Structure 1
Amino acid sequence: MTRIPVRASDVIIGEPLPWAVYDDRGVMLLRQGHVVRSSLQLRRLIERGAWHEPPEEEEESAGKGKLRGGARREREPFTRLSILIPRIRRMHQSIYELAKGSDKELESVAERLIQLVRDDREAMLAAINLIRDFEYSARHAAFTALLSAIMADEMNLSWRQRQGVVVAALTQNVGFFEDHDRFATSVGVLDEESRVKLRAHPNTSAEKVLSCGIDDPFILGAIREHHERYDGKGYPRELSGTAISQGGRILTLADHFVAMTSPRAYRQGLHPVVALRQIFLLSGRVGDPEMTQAFVAAVGVNPPGCCVYLDTGEQGMVVRRGAEASQPLVAVVKKAHDMGRQKTERFLQAVECSERNSRVTGPAPSMVASFQDLEYLWMENPPRLTV
């Protein structure tokens, strides 16, 4: 009998278990279909050394050699996110068309994104800074939702608020679903009709979500107010200060960071370190000052996925933050490999700057890394604390 250890990434809080869970003596702890209700319950389960048997379909596929790299490969953080982003795109279309069941699908996607952050926050921050595949609208929604979940953790929000702000982030632009990608890739100035749609989309997005059966005031308020500014110069209602809902103020910061770091047809995306500096300098104008401090703390001065120079003269990518902002865990570039138009970086094993007595001296040009490189780096350098 094959035993597979239960990991945090295998279990989705609030959803039925796909298999029974046993202790190290083979005694069943939880039946298949049992719902784990909290991260505390999950942590205690893992600490007991819980395990499960492989599902029959995985055994059959493995026997036929169809699961290249093993079933575990499908559960790595970047792969799991890459499966979710196209699903977000389909979900947007369903909500826009008011398809039946859109509300349930929205809640399911939100819970999976929250789980990804819970499993490996550093990897998700890296994904926001590194992944540039997929349509802009779906990618933007996923990254804003991830940042909102991270902010909710930093601010110790309740489960209802955490889920609500992630649902709002996923749907804040659904009101102009058909135009969002076109707007993002447009090089010229938008015409009057497009500008009207753009300024109206917070309200039209909220109406779409409401029509799908989600009437939570926290969610709808966050969607309607995600383009308001703390100084009152936002839209559509020119609200200011704490007149903007808590969810709206969180989304303003998350949306702003993702927009600044994402490349467009007419400009490159800002380096994450530069974008964070701008967000900090705009504190009190765009973002709530207290929330801005929490945002910078949550993302980090040198966030995972950003490229940096070290005082050794080396260049690398931050994998995980360290106790000091200038001494993270960095994957140092061994060599750059040119393959036609694509340049793929090759990394040495990640090194702790503190152990080598080296420091980050500043931002470096962004690098290209394949999904395989990212999966390898994060698999070889797992989270220090599993929750």
Structure 2
Amino acid sequence: MLETRKVATEELQIGMFVSQLDRPWLGTPFRIQGFRLEDQEQIRQLQQYCQYVLVDTEQADHPTSIELPKVSSSRKPLPVETIFYDRSIKGYTDQSDFMAEHTVARKALTALSGDLEDMYRRALDDDKLNVIRLKQSLEPLIGSISRNPDACLWVSRLKRHDQSTYDRSLSSGIWAVALGRELGLPRRDLRSLAMGAMLMDVGTLRVRQELLQAQRPLTGEEAMEVREHVIHGLDIIRSSGIMNRDVLEMAAHHHERYNGSGYPRGLEEDRIPAFARIAAVVDTYGAITADRGYASAMSPAQAMRTLYDARDVEFQAELVEAFIRAIGIYPAGSVVELSNGSIAVVVAEYRSHRLRPTVLVMLDEHKRPLARPTLLKLQASTGWRKPKMPSIKRSLEPDAYGIDLGIIDLHRQFGI
């Protein structure tokens, strides 16, 4: 059993770890699902919004490894219905656990990855996309993420290590759908998000590869050439018969920024279409968590911090916060160091205990490879006569200690 208890907000004390509220998180000023009470102002804020909360008694002794800035009480987040005023918002709950969903997700992503690769290669020849095939391939992915996003996040993390050209578009689609699910968007909108995220950079097919892979700063003229991938992408998408407004807007405006500093039109705030605002968050996360010619990949925790610091500057705050909840500080596939010194890979999260996921321990406390990796549920009870579970100390770079996620076979090693 998870160590949580229901506490009236009048009885809250500094040092308690709040893991759940009595209402949705997005309608409150609290930035992440799970936080430690550090001052009386936070307690007063909770009392304004909630009658009770769930407190994680296991978290009290373990500070988080990523400290998010305190929230100003002067700013009230916009309800999701306000952002997507013309959409039918619904709530999602996990319909399957990671173990049950893993095989389904792996099959869906393997098929979709192959279809994407074939589609992009054909587009190089005739500048057209096989839209019908793409739509058919997306359905298993959307179904899997709707049931439980963790399995797709894990499998996509593995695929990002096989250096395929199409991995980033695949991962972008997964992140966009996971964010749409967190926001409560209906399934038809999840389809649009998936397609838009996977196609928003299709215009790079017409950009010289030496510029995309440059190990040096680009000249002004070269940077303009790269920026033209937006125009090229719209041309390819329209010529393929795609008239979905949301998909077109994601391709056209995923480089716009909330403060007006983006391109191609310098749009700002709600002048940027809502789905394009989602695309901007997803695209940036994908860029900074991948190796680029001029920068090494950030860890997921570092990337989330970067996005968080840019909320209401480059990205809409409510969408950044929802993205953190959807993907997590330690998403599946993250390499982490535990408090006992061992090195592990995050397998799956528990929605109400995001700082205590299930991990696969790869190296012991002396950083020596284990003969057989061990699954460890950090959220497991640590009561009388049970060993105290370690916590996550810090997030590491994707290739830390030479760990190759591609060799991890959960199905063969653990029957998953």
Shared fold per TM-score greater than 0.5: yes
- Which residue of 2 is the match for residue 328 of structure 1? 357
Partner of 2:273: 245
From 340, 349, 364, the counterpart of 2:375: 349
Contact 2:176 2:197 in 1 (8 A): yes
RMSD value, Cα: 3.3
Aligned to 2:67: none
Distance 1:100 1:279 in 2: 34
- Letter aligned with residue 169 of structure 1: A
Letter in 1 for 2:224: V
Q: Matches of 2:413 and 2:279 in 1, distance apart?
A: 27
Q: Distance in 2 between matches of 1:133 and 1:311?
A: 26
Unmatched 5+ residue regions in structure 2? 1-93, 382-387
CA change 1:256–1:365 in 2 (3 A) is: closer
In the other structure, the counterpart of 2:411 is 376
Percent identity (aligned): 21
Task: Say which SS state the counterpart of residue 348 (structure 1) adopts.
Answer: strand
The residue aligned with 2:51 is: none
Q: How many residues align?
A: 309
- Number of the residue aligned with 2:308: 280
Relative contact order, higher structure (CA 8 A, sep 6+): 2
SS in 1 for 2:226: helix
- Is the contact made by 1:308 and 1:316 (CA closer than 8 Å) also made in structure 2? yes
Stretches of structure 1 that go unaligned for 5 or more consecutive residues are 1-42, 47-71, 382-387
The reply to whether residue 126 of structure 1 matches residue 154 of structure 2 is yes
Task: Tell me, in whole angstroms, the C-alpha distance in 2 between the residues paired with 1:332 and 1:195.
Answer: 43
Structure 1 pair 370–307 and aligned structure 2 pair: CA distance change class (3 A): closer
Structure 1 Cα separation of the partners of residues 301 and 145 of structure 2: 21
C-alpha offsets along residues 293-334 of structure 1, whole Å, 9 cap, x if unaligned?
A: 100110112222112222222221111113323221111124
Identify the residue that residue 61 of structure 1 maps to in structure 2: none
CA contact 2:356–2:378 (8 Å) conserved in 1: yes
SS state at 1:361 partner? strand
Structure 2 partner of 1:363: 395
What is residue 318 of structure 2 aligned with on the other side? 290
Partner of 2:70: none
* Residues 377/117 of structure 1: CA separation in 2 closer, same or farther (3 Å cut): farther
Of stretches 82-91 and 143-152 in structure 1, the one that deviates more from structure 2 is 82-91
| 1:128 Cα offset (Å) | 4.2
Partner of 1:234: 262
Structure 1 residue 83 displacement after superposition? 4.2
Distance 2:169 2:112 in 1: 11
Secondary structure (helix, strand or coil) at the match of 1:115 reads helix
**Superposition pairs for residues 109-124 of structure 1, below 5 Å?**
109-118=137-146, 120-124=148-152
Contact between 2:160 and 2:168, CA under 8 Å: does it hold in 1?
no
Per the alignment, residue 184 of structure 2 pairs with 156
What residue is the counterpart of 2:288 in the other structure?
260
Task: Name the structure 2 match of 1:313.
Answer: 341
One-letter code aligned to 2:275: G
Cα 1:180–1:219 change in 2 (3 A) is farther
Deviation at 1:114, TM superposition (A): 1.7
SS in structure 1 of the partner of residue 408 of structure 2: helix
Find the residue that maps to 1:238 and give its secondary structure. Answer: coil
Q: 2:130 aligns with which of 87, 102, 119?
A: 102
Q: Which amino acid aligns with 2:356?
A: Q
State the distance in 2 between where 1:374 and 1:184 align.
32
Question: Does the aligned pair in 1 maintain the 2:298–2:397 contact within 8 Å?
Answer: no
Work out the CA distance in 2 between the residues paired with 1:182 and 1:136: 17
CA contact (8 A) 2:256 2:266 kept: yes
Q: 1:93 to 1:333 in 2, by over 3 A?
A: closer
Once residues 126 and 196 of structure 1 are traced to their aligned partners in structure 2, the CA distance between those partners, rounded to angstroms, is 35
